[in-house]
């Protein structure tokens, strides 16, 4: 469609306010932080010293960074796979014309409405070694040997937090997939039935491709939240025990506000930004292309 | 023959499905049930986890309200305008990006979208300094602006996807009928975009309501602090009174749950890309 | 459009209300603190009552900052930058205080000090950590001891146990407890659940001089004596920690002792007010003994109050601090806090039970023992943070490889901080 100058101007105006907001509140602070990452500041004093790459050297030689990075990767894999698959599985089940499907939807989605801090407090309590619901339940059904120190054992603490996160975020995937499933044109499925296709064939050939848009949305959201994860971990374990549950976001907080090394903290934030972009940008780019094709 | 086996198969399958769904529901509901149960028990009764209280211990709720009541009001005052502003802004940005190809449209879209994965930590300190210099630190206005700005990526994303499903032919037809571009947006597109809006409104409402870090670093007074910060204060205390903590949690989640229940239909329809195709 | 218009008006009204009610707050003299739970809350309330009584013309507002010193520093820093900090805040002392002073953010309180005759009424050791370069910048509120071990007296009496005086006796007592299916020692993750446990070991193995050397950065963490200290910590304490200790917060760990699952609990004596609030009686249900190795020493943690220079009401600030440091204010505060007042003129009759015993012990040590400051006030923040983490990590996995990593990490930071000249030369407390 040809664009006259008048039209171009109109559209530029439309984009003006959002873009300005974006630059002032998002882009500019990022650049400030970038600058700060090359400086040293304790958050209080007036003197801010330029130190070049020293902050980056420091954090890359610390064990904490590599632990955090590994954990972020674990979270990425987990977030992309677990809530999505569980959400899809549950959506599939609810889609089978079960009675009370609205009710089930509500049940699965409610945890997602709760703020992570609240999730953290409830689950910390559930995980309590002696008085917690989970260990008590295990004891009462005769399996005391499976009791764990869920968030106190550095080897499993991260997974315990992940379980709380799964509880929290599966609902979103489920609802999205459910709508997607209901949105599949029934003619497609009926035609497949006429051809005698089995459940699994229908799944592979019709359902999966039709759900691609939903999957893109879910995975994008999950990927983003995996890199950003902070609230839940911070409130449940604070990065501990030891340093076992730290992710980049919590590490940044710890370095900036417990050690008062704002420069190093900003460096970590920059690393976080770079990695998040590297992982998510190509994905978003690819998916927006895909939607272009769908549109035309 | 085939029918009989079929119905047995089907019966078994259906029971299995129900069993799994019920078990899953238990997983999702039990923590919440424990939360509600604990919120109505007195401190002494809480020690015995699975017991039922003799009577509803209202004190938990009165303590909870005195702690987070004002925070609830603040959250409402912050969330409503912020959600309206950011969804409008998202739609405004999405309009040109969805209806036209122009030089750099991909780039603009990518740039805006990249705001999605900006981790809060990287902007925390500079953002505080900006807000302060604009003299809107610790105010509702400051929170509205910040949430709106940070809502631009996700709202643009959704609204663009939604608008993209509306055929360009509709716009071309309106223009032929004498409608201006701006007119088309405000008179036609927005009305058609209602399902998309519902999705965005719900997502944004949830995001703004549940935000912790912005509230923590950009507000101070009891008269501005949102409920999440107040709740976090509560959780962070050294000797946690579980009864009132659970009561406070319960109170704080009711608004978001209500919105989901009320707008469920729109939410779902919006995700399906609108029924405008007809 | 009508609905939208109404919503906008509604929001605008609320906004206006919010802004208006906001401005009323700035008239009060403000104090920020993180004395949030149980007895602590009562303590600050009682203190504010005294302050208000002694200053009838002024209005005061106390604001809670949950998240302890970390959050306090963050919010205070923000407020100072924003130009509206509170008149008084709950301050850490020693190096924490010094960092604020070096940044030029605190008022000197020499005049308040002179009015109080501060040099006479405060323990000389405490004086050292509120003064920087000869000027006073904070008022000490109390003296918490962090090297006492609390125990469930009923359990001890039932099993005929006596408080141990050294490491061997401690292990013997623990063995008896274990035989009777009671866990010996409680610990917790987060917020200092393990760090204080290593202090008595440091004192025992390195001597008080060695402890101070760690504090002012002159002793290497790779020194074989330091290594030995960690190994002793492993042998004496870590081996006796209760099941799942790392899954508990300190209040929950205290609950375990109250329920009778664990017999001993080592943490600062702020837990005393926690126990008493939960219904326990001093000396009947619980009591304390000095941690093995500290027969002649105590390590103290002190809460302080300081005043940011950028706050508006200097007069109000100094009035508040004067009242807080005075006999009445200190008595009111410490009666509920579970700590011994810093002001020596406070009569000991406000202390009952365990607190009285603590008071007596502090007096005794002041005369003929050594009072040491908490390493927290001596170490630069990165090193303090690292020490806490490493002690906890080591307690979780106490093999030699972990110990090597821990000591290396600590040494790296020590050298880094030495280069930055971040250590201060504390020459002890008495």
Question: What CATH number should be reported for the domain holding residue A214?
Answer: 1.10.3720.10
In order of C70, C144, C334, C335, the CA distances from C328 in angstroms are 30, 19, 10, 11
Residue numbers of the domain that contains B198:
62-273
A165 CA: distance to closest CA in chain B (Å): 12
Are C94 and C174 in the same domain? no
| C67 inside 8 A of chain A by CB | no
**Sign of the torsion angle spanned by Cα atoms B238, B239, B244, B245:** positive
Answer whether residue C17 is part of any domain: no
C-alpha to C-alpha distance for C264 and C153, rounded to whole angstroms? 9
A202-216, B219-233, B261-275, C36-50: which has the minimum mean pLDDT?
Answer: B261-275
Indicate the burial class of B41 (C-beta count within 10 angstroms; 0-12, 13-18, 19 or more): buried
| Helix (H), strand (E), coil (C) string for C329-392 | HHHHHHHHHCCEECECCCCHHHCCCHHHHHHHHHHHHHHHCEEEECHHHHCCHHHHHHHHHHHH
Cβ count within 10 A of residue C6: 10
| pLDDT band (50, 70, 90) for residue B1 | very low
CB contact under 8 A, B224 and C18: yes
Are C398 and C258 in the same domain? yes
CB of A260 closer than 8 Å to CB of C99: yes
Which residue(s) pair with C63 in the sheet?
Answer: C32
| pLDDT band (50, 70, 90) for residue A196 | confident
Answer whether residue B134 is part of any domain: yes
What pLDDT is attached to residue B66? 83
Answer whether residue C16 is part of any domain: no
The residues in A 144-163 lying below 8 A from C, measured between CB atoms, are: 149-154
C14 CA: distance to closest CA in chain B (Å): 7
Rounded mean pLDDT of A164-183?
Answer: 86
Percent of chain A with pLDDT over 70: 92
Count the helix, strand and coil residues of chain A and give each as a percent rounded to the nearest 5: 75, 0, 25
Q: To which residue do tokens 């300094």 refer? A: B129
Chain C residues lying within 8 Å of B237, measured CB to CB: 36-37, 66
Residue C14 has pLDDT above 60, yes or no: no
- Compute φ and ψ for C89, nearest 5 degrees: -140, 155
Answer whether residue B235 is part of any domain: yes
Answer whether residue C181 is part of any domain: yes
Q: To which residue do tokens 């910048």 refer? A: C137
Residue A290 has pLDDT above 70, yes or no: no
Chain A residues lying within 8 Å of B48, measured CB to CB: none
Structure tokens, C5: 């218009």
Number of H helices, E strands in chain A: 15, 2
C-alpha to C-alpha distance for C103 and C96, rounded to whole angstroms? 11
B103 CA: distance to closest CA in chain C (Å): 35
| pLDDT band (50, 70, 90) for residue B217 | confident
Chain C residues with at least one Cβ partner in B under 8 Å: 4, 7-8, 10-11, 14-15, 18-19, 21-22, 25, 36-38, 64, 66-67, 71, 74-75, 78-79, 81-82, 191, 249-251, 274
C-alpha to C-alpha distance for A190 and A211, rounded to whole angstroms? 17
Which of the two residues, C317 and C70, has the higher pLDDT score?
A: C317
Answer whether residue A113 is part of any domain: yes
| CATH number of the domain encompassing residue C206 | 3.40.190.10
| Helix, coil or strand: residue A10 | helix
| pLDDT band (50, 70, 90) for residue C17 | low
Answer whether residue A274 is part of any domain: yes
| Helix (H), strand (E), coil (C) string for chain C | CHHHHHHHHHHHHHHHHHHHHHHHHHHCEEEEECCCCHHHHHHHHHHHHHHHHHCCCCCEEEEECCCHHHHHHHHHHHHHHHCCCCCEEEECCCHHHHHHHHCCCECCCHHHHHHHCHHHHECHHHHHHHEECCEECEEECEEEECCEEEEEHHHHHHHCCCCCCCHHHHHHHHHHHHHCCCEEEECCCCCCCCHHHHHHHHHHHHHHHHHHHHHCCCCCCCCHHHHHHHHHHHHHCHHHECCCHHHCCHHHHHHHHHHCCEEEEECCCCHHHHHHHCCCCECCCEEEEECCCCCCEEEEECCEEECECCCCCHHHHHHHHHHHHCHHHHHHHHHHHCCEECECCCCHHHCCCHHHHHHHHHHHHHHHCEEEECHHHHCCHHHHHHHHHHHHHHHHCCCHHHHHHHHHHHHHHHHHHHHCCCCCCCCCCC
B21-35, C11-25, C72-86: which has the minimum mean pLDDT?
Answer: C11-25
Indicate the burial class of B110 (C-beta count within 10 angstroms; 0-12, 13-18, 19 or more): middle
CB of C197 closer than 8 Å to CB of C190: no
Chain A residues lying within 8 Å of C244, measured CB to CB: 129-130, 149, 152
Residue numbers of the domain that contains C50:
30-143+305-350
C-alpha to C-alpha distance for C53 and C63, rounded to whole angstroms? 19
Which residue(s) pair with C90 in the sheet?
Answer: C305
Structure tokens, B121: 């930590």
CB of A59 closer than 8 Å to CB of B184: no
Percent of chain C with pLDDT over 90: 35
Q: What is the DSSP letter of B53?
A: P
Chain C residues lying within 8 Å of B239, measured CB to CB: 37-38, 251, 274
Rounded mean pLDDT of A30-53?
Answer: 83
Answer whether residue C19 is part of any domain: no
C-alpha Rg value of chain C to the nearest Å: 23
What pLDDT is attached to residue C8? 55
Positions of E strands within A76-228: none
**Cα-based angle C330, C334, C339 (whole degrees, multiple of 5):** 125
Residue A74 has pLDDT above 90, yes or no: yes
The candidate with the shortest Cα–Cα distance to A104, out of A178, A46, A43, is: A178
Chain B residues lying within 8 Å of C38, measured CB to CB: 239
Closest alpha carbon within chain C to A157:
C247
Are C167 and C138 in the same domain? no
CB contact under 8 A, C37 and B239: yes
Rounded mean pLDDT of A237-261?
Answer: 84
Answer whether residue A28 is part of any domain: yes
Interface predicted TM-score of the whole assembly (ipTM), two decimals: 0.77
Spell out the residues 6+ positions from residue C189 whose beta carbon is closer than 8 angstroms to its own: A152, A237, A240, A241, C245, C246, C247, C248, C249, C392
Structure tokens, B161: 């996807």
Are C42 and C108 in the same domain? yes
Residue A296 has pLDDT above 70, yes or no: no
C-alpha to C-alpha distance for A292 and B268, rounded to whole angstroms? 22
Answer whether residue B45 is part of any domain: no
Are C288 and C398 in the same domain? yes
Q: To which residue do tokens 């020490």 refer? A: C387
A78 sits in which H/E element: helix A63-94
What pLDDT is attached to residue C6? 60
Answer whether residue C15 is part of any domain: no
Q: How many CA atoms lie within 13 A of B15 on its CB side?
A: 5
| C89 inside 8 A of chain A by CB | no
Cβ count within 10 A of residue B244: 24
C6 CA: distance to closest CA in chain B (Å): 12
A159 sits in which H/E element: helix A157-182
Which of the two residues, B120 and C326, has the higher pLDDT score?
A: C326
B153 sits in which H/E element: helix B140-164
Answer whether residue A2 is part of any domain: no
Answer whether residue C24 is part of any domain: no
Structure tokens, A11: 């559209």
Answer whether residue A15 is part of any domain: no
What pLDDT is attached to residue A283? 67
| pLDDT band (50, 70, 90) for residue A272 | confident
| Helix, coil or strand: residue A49 | strand
Which of the two residues, B187 and C218, has the higher pLDDT score?
A: C218
Neighbours of chain B (3+ CB pairs under 8 A): A, C
What pLDDT is attached to residue C24? 39
Residue B212 has pLDDT above 50, yes or no: yes
Residue A241 has pLDDT above 90, yes or no: no
A65 sits in which H/E element: helix A63-94
Cβ count within 10 A of residue C179: 9
**Cα-based angle B7, B12, B16 (whole degrees, multiple of 5):** 145
What pLDDT is attached to residue A71? 93
B108-122, B141-155, C220-234, C396-410: which has the minimum mean pLDDT?
Answer: B108-122
C-alpha to C-alpha distance for A7 and C126, rounded to whole angstroms? 74
The residues in A 44-73 lying below 8 A from B, measured between CB atoms, are: none
| CATH number of the domain encompassing residue B151 | 1.10.3720.10
- Compute φ and ψ for C29, nearest 5 degrees: -80, 125
C-alpha to C-alpha distance for B86 and B79, rounded to whole angstroms? 10
Are C198 and C180 in the same domain? yes
Rounded mean pLDDT of B80-92?
Answer: 89
Q: For chain A, how many structural domains are there in total? A: 1
Average confidence score pLDDT of chain C: 85
Q: For chain C, how many structural domains are there in total? A: 2
Residue numbers of the domain that contains A202:
22-295
CB contact under 8 A, A130 and C244: yes
| pLDDT band (50, 70, 90) for residue B278 | very low
C262 dihedral zone (left: phi>0; alpha: psi -120 to 50; beta): beta
C-alpha to C-alpha distance for A255 and A261, rounded to whole angstroms? 6
Answer whether residue C1 is part of any domain: no
Q: How many residues are there in chain A?
A: 296
What pLDDT is attached to residue A77? 93
Answer whether residue A12 is part of any domain: no
Are C219 and C335 in the same domain? no
C-alpha to C-alpha distance for C428 and C430, rounded to whole angstroms? 6
C-alpha Rg value of chain A to the nearest Å: 24
Answer whether residue B167 is part of any domain: yes
Answer whether residue C236 is part of any domain: yes
């Amino acid at each position: 469609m040809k664009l006259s100058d008048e039209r171009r101007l109109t559209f530029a105006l439309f984009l003006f306010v959002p873009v300005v907001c974006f630059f002032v509140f998002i882009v500019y602070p990022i650049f400030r932080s970038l600058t700060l990452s090359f400086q040293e500041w304790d958050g209080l004093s007036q003197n801010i010293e330029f130190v070049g790459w020293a902050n980056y050297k420091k954090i890359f030689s610390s064990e904490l960074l590599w632990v955090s990075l590994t954990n972020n990767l674990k979270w990425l894999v987990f977030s992309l796979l677990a809530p999505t698959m569980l959400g899809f599985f549950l959506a599939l089940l609810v889609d089978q014309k079960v009675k009370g499907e609205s009710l089930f939807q509500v049940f699965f989605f409610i945890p997602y409405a709760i703020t992570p801090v609240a999730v953290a407090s409830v689950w910390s309590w559930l995980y309590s070694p002696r008085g917690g619901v989970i260990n008590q339940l295990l004891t009462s059904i005769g399996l005391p040997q499976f009791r764990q120190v869920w968030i106190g054992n550095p080897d499993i603490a991260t997974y315990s937090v992940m379980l709380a996160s799964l509880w929290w975020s599966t609902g979103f995937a489920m609802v999205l997939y459910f709508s997607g499933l209901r949105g599949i044109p029934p003619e497609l499925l009926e035609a497949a039935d006429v051809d005698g296709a089995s459940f699994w064939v229908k799944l592979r050939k019709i359902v999966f491709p039709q759900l691609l848009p939903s999957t893109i949305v879910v995975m994008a959201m999950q990927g983003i939240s995996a890199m950003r994860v902070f609230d839940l971990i911070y409130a449940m374990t604070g990065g501990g025990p030891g340093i076992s549950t730290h992710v980049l976001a919590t590490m940044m907080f710890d370095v900036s506000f417990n050690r008062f090394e704002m420069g190093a903290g900003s460096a970590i934030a920059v690393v976080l930004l770079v990695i998040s972009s590297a992982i998510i940008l190509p994905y978003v780019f690819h998916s927006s292309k895909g939607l272009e094709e769908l549109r035309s | 023959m085939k029918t009989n086996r079929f119905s047995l198969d089907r019966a078994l399958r259906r029971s299995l499905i129900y069993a799994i769904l019920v078990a899953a529901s238990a997983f999702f509901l039990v923590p919440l049930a424990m939360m509600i149960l604990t919120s109505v028990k007195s401190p002494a009764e809480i020690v015995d986890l699975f017991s039922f209280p003799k009577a509803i211990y209202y004190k938990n709720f009165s303590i909870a309200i005195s702690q987070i009541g004002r925070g609830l009001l603040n959250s409402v005052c912050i969330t409503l305008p912020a959600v309206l502003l950011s969804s409008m802004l998202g739609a405004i940005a999405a309009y040109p990006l969805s209806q036209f190809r122009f030089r750099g449209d991909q780039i603009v879209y990518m740039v805006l979208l990249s705001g999605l994965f900006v981790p809060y930590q990287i902007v925390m300190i500079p953002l505080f300094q900006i807000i302060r210099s604009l003299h809107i630190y610790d105010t509702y206005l400051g929170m509205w602006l910040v949430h709106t700005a940070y809502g631009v990526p996700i709202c643009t994303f959704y609204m663009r996807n939604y608008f993209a499903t509306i055929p360009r032919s509709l716009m071309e037809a309106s223009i032929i009928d004498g409608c201006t571009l701006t007119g088309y947006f405000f008179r036609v597109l927005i009305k058609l975009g209602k399902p998309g809006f519902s999705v965005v409104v719900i997502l944004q409402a949830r995001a703004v309501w549940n935000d912790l870090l912005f509230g923590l670093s950009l507000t101070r007074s009891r008269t501005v602090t949102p409920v999440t910060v107040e709740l976090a204060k509560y959780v962070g205390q050294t000797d946690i009174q579980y009864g009132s903590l659970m009561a406070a949690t319960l109170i704080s989640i009711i608004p978001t749950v209500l919105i989901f229940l009320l707008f469920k239909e729109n939410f779902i329809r919006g995700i399906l890309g609108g029924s405008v195709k007809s | 459009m009508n609905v939208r218009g109404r919503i906008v008006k509604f929001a605008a009204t609320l906004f206006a209300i919010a802004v208006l009610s906001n401005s009323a707050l700035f008239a009060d003299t403000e104090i920020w603190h993180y004395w949030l739970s149980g007895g602590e809350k009562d303590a600050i309330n009682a203190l504010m009552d005294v302050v208000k009584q002694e200053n009838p013309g002024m209005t005061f507002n106390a604001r809670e900052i949950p998240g302890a010193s970390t959050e306090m520093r963050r919010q205070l820093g923000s407020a100072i930058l924003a130009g509206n900090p509170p008149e008084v805040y709950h301050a850490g002392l020693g190096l924490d205080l010094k960092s604020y002073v070096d940044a030029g953010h605190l008022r000197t309180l020499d005049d308040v000090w002179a009015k109080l005759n501060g040099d006479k009424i405060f323990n000389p050791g405490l004086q050292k950590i509120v003064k920087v370069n000869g000027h006073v910048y904070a008022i000490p509120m109390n003296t918490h001891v962090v090297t006492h071990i609390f125990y469930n007296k009923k359990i001890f009496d039932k099993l005929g146990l006596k408080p141990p005086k050294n490491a061997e006796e401690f292990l013997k007592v623990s063995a008896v407890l274990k035989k009777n299916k009671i866990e010996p020692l409680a610990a917790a993750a987060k917020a200092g659940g393990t760090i204080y446990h290593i202090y008595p070991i440091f004192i025992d193995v390195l001597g008080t001089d060695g402890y101070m050397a760690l504090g002012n950065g002159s002793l290497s963490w790779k020194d074989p004596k330091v290594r030995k200290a960690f190994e002793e910590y492993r042998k004496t304490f870590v081996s006796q920690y209760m099941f799942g200790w790392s899954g508990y917060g300190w209040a929950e760990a205290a609950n375990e002792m109250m329920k009778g699952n664990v017999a001993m609990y080592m943490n600062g004596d702020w837990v005393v007010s926690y126990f008493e609030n939960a219904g326990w009686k001093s000396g009947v249900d619980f009591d304390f003994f000095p941690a093995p190795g500290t027969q002649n020493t105590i390590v103290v943690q002190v809460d302080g109050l300081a005043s940011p220079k950028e706050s508006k009401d200097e007069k109000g600030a100094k009035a508040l601090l004067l009242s807080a440091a005075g006999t009445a204010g200190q008595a009111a505060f410490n009666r509920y806090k579970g700590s011994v007042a810093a002001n020596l003129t406070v009569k000991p009759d406000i202390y009952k039970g365990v607190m009285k015993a603590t008071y007596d012990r502090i007096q005794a040590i002041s005369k003929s023992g050594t009072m040491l400051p908490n390493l927290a006030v001596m170490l630069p923040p990165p090193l303090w943070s690292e020490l806490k983490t490493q002690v906890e990590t080591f307690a979780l996995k106490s093999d030699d490889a972990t110990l090597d990593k821990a000591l290396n990490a600590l040494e790296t930071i020590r050298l880094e901080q030495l280069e930055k000249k971040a250590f201060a030369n504390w020459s002890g407390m008495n």
